[in-house]
């Protein structure tokens, strides 16, 4: 028979993402509705070690659904990676009679969730990260808001690019994943995207800008992933210099494409969550409570083709590594040939979708 839960803990950890607060609210209301008390652990795993928590009543989570960042805060906690820190955290949970945890964050947060699960504390992960780098889930909480913020800002840059016939290279977040970059490049009508998932032909890109300028195009946008920390600024300088030389050589100042660089940086992480992120956060938060109370552990909640479902944390980690090509020997030993084939098909479909969208961007960028 499934364990009877009396009190659970909820935390947000890793990089903050709009919608994390909405997820905490959903967890709280769903658990309280089922007669289970909720403790909000402050500052991620750090609060678990240092016994910093507050009871989350339904009133405590009022007026939180639209908050940006995370009202439970998210501190880095390296101590939790060590056995001693983990044992301290478990002792705090026992002291408060907390018999299950919901951890909202990214892949680092999920490693912590597994560590708790294998030490007898049932834990469920909820993907909250703007980067959308949890391969097993089509969307993560915060991704939609971050993209919306990017296009709002890029639209403003477009206005001034068009007025002055300039180009703007914009660097956006996403760590090692190009999801934010590619989608916002498509949605902002950029001429190119520089993403980790595809090789970037700089010469072809510059030649395209020159051709389009000859054809009368005034403003240009190029979106670059933060995975290339120096590329954006250098590209803007290069386009400015090359087109300036060309304009002088041909005696045609219209060929000069003055190019500016803009790093949106952490502005992309803030702001009130969009409708899509509030819905996702709410559905995932409720499902996490359902899973925990049903006696499940070491799972994450994912969205696939619009449906909320679950997968094992280990499964999700193997999928991430398969996607990035960073699998190490032995990592797939626990899976049958059939399961591996299913994973490979999943990765192939995701990559094909990415390639299709990248090709679409390049075709329309004319």
Annotated active-site positions, please?
A: 131
Helix and strand counts by DSSP (H, E) for the chain: 11, 11
Among residues 100 and 108, whose Cβ is nearest to ligand ADP? 108
231: helix, strand or coil: helix
CA distance 22 to 64: 6
CA distance 216 to 165: 10
Q: With CB under 6 A as the contact rule, which of the stretches 21-29, 77-85, 154-162, 299-307 interacts with ligand ADP? A: 77-85
Indicate whether 243 belongs to the interface with ligand ADP (CB under 6 A). Answer: no
Residue 15 has a CB neighbour count (10 Å cut-off) of: 21
Indicate whether 109 belongs to the interface with ligand ADP (CB under 6 A). Answer: yes
Residue from 70, 129, 168, 274 in contact with ligand ADP (CB under 6 A): 129
The minimum distance between CB 205 and ligand ADP, in angstroms, equals 31
Indicate whether 107 belongs to the interface with ligand ADP (CB under 6 A). Answer: yes
Residue from 5, 9, 10, 13 in contact with ligand ADP (CB under 6 A): 13
Those residues whose C-beta lies under 8 Å from the C-beta of residue 332, and which sit 6 or more positions away, are 318, 340
Indicate whether 192 belongs to the interface with ligand ADP (CB under 6 A). Answer: no
The minimum distance between CB 174 and ligand ADP, in angstroms, equals 13
Indicate whether 14 belongs to the interface with ligand ADP (CB under 6 A). Answer: yes
Among residues 130 and 161, whose Cβ is nearest to ligand ADP? 130
E strand or H helix that includes residue 304: strand 299-304
300 alpha-carbon distance from chain centroid: 15
Query: At residue 99, what are phi and psi to the nearest 5 degrees?
Result: -110, 15
Residue from 4, 34, 81, 156 in contact with ligand ADP (CB under 6 A): 81
Among residues 105 and 178, whose Cβ is nearest to ligand ADP? 105
Helix locations, 56-201, DSSP H: 83-95, 107-118, 143-164, 179-188
301: helix, strand or coil: strand
CA distance 185 to 46: 37
Angle, helices 202-214 vs 231-250, to 10°: value is: 40
Indicate whether 73 belongs to the interface with ligand ADP (CB under 6 A). Answer: no
Indicate whether 108 belongs to the interface with ligand ADP (CB under 6 A). Answer: yes
Among residues 119 and 260, whose Cβ is nearest to ligand ADP? 119
The minimum distance between CB 177 and ligand ADP, in angstroms, equals 12
Residue from 9, 19, 100, 105 in contact with ligand ADP (CB under 6 A): 105
The minimum distance between CB 45 and ligand ADP, in angstroms, equals 4
Indicate whether 76 belongs to the interface with ligand ADP (CB under 6 A). Answer: yes
The minimum distance between CB 109 and ligand ADP, in angstroms, equals 3
Residue 43 has a CB neighbour count (10 Å cut-off) of: 21
CA distance 237 to 247: 15
Query: At residue 47, what are phi and psi to the nearest 5 degrees?
Result: -65, -25
CA distance 242 to 362: 22
The minimum distance between CB 354 and ligand ADP, in angstroms, equals 21
Residues that bind ligand ADP (CB under 6 A): 13-15, 44-45, 76-77, 80-81, 105-109, 111-112, 115, 129
């Amino acid at each position: 028979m499934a364990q009877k839960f009396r009190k659970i803990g909820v935390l947000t950890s890793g990089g903050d993402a709009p919608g994390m607060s909405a997820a905490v609210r959903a967890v709280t209301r769903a658990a309280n509705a089922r007669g289970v008390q909720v403790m909000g652990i402050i500052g991620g795993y750090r609060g678990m070690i240092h016994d910093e928590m507050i009871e989350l009543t339904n009133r405590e989570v009022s007026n939180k659904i639209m908050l940006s960042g995370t009202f439970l805060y998210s501190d880095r906690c390296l101590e939790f990676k060590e056995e001693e820190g983990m044992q301290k955290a478990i002792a705090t949970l026992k002291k408060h009679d907390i018999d299950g945890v919901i951890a909202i964050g990214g892949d680092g947060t999920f490693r912590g969730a597994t560590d708790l699960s294998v030490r007898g504390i049932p834990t469920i992960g909820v993907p909250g990260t703007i980067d959308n780098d949890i391969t097993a889930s089509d969307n993560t909480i915060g991704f939609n808001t971050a993209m919306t913020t990017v296009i709002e800002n890029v639209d403003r840059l477009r206005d001034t690019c068009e007025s002055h016939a300039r180009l703007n290279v914009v660097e956006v977040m996403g760590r090692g994943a190009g999801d934010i970059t590619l989608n916002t490049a498509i949605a902002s009508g950029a001429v190119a995207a520089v993403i980790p998932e595809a090789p970037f032909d700089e010469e072809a890109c510059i030649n395209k800008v020159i051709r389009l300028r000859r054809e009368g195009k005034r403003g240009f946008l190029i979106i670059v992933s933060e995975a290339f920390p120096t590329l954006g600024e250098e590209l803007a300088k290069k386009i400015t210099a090359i087109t300036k030389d060309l304009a002088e050589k041909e005696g045609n100042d219209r060929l000069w494409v003055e190019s500016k660089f803009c790093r949106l940086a952490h502005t992309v992480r803030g702001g009130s969550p969009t409708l899509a992120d509030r819905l996702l956060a709410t559905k995932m938060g409720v499902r996490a409570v359902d899973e925990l109370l049903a006696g499940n552990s070491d799972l994450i909640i994912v969205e696939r083709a619009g449906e909320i479902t679950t997968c094992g944390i280990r499964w999700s980690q193997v999928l991430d590594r398969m996607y990035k090509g960073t699998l190490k020997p032995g990592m797939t030993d626990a899976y049958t040939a059939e399961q591996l084939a299913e994973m490979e098909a999943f990765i192939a479909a995701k990559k094909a979708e990415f390639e299709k969208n990248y090709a679409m961007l390049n075709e329309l960028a004319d």
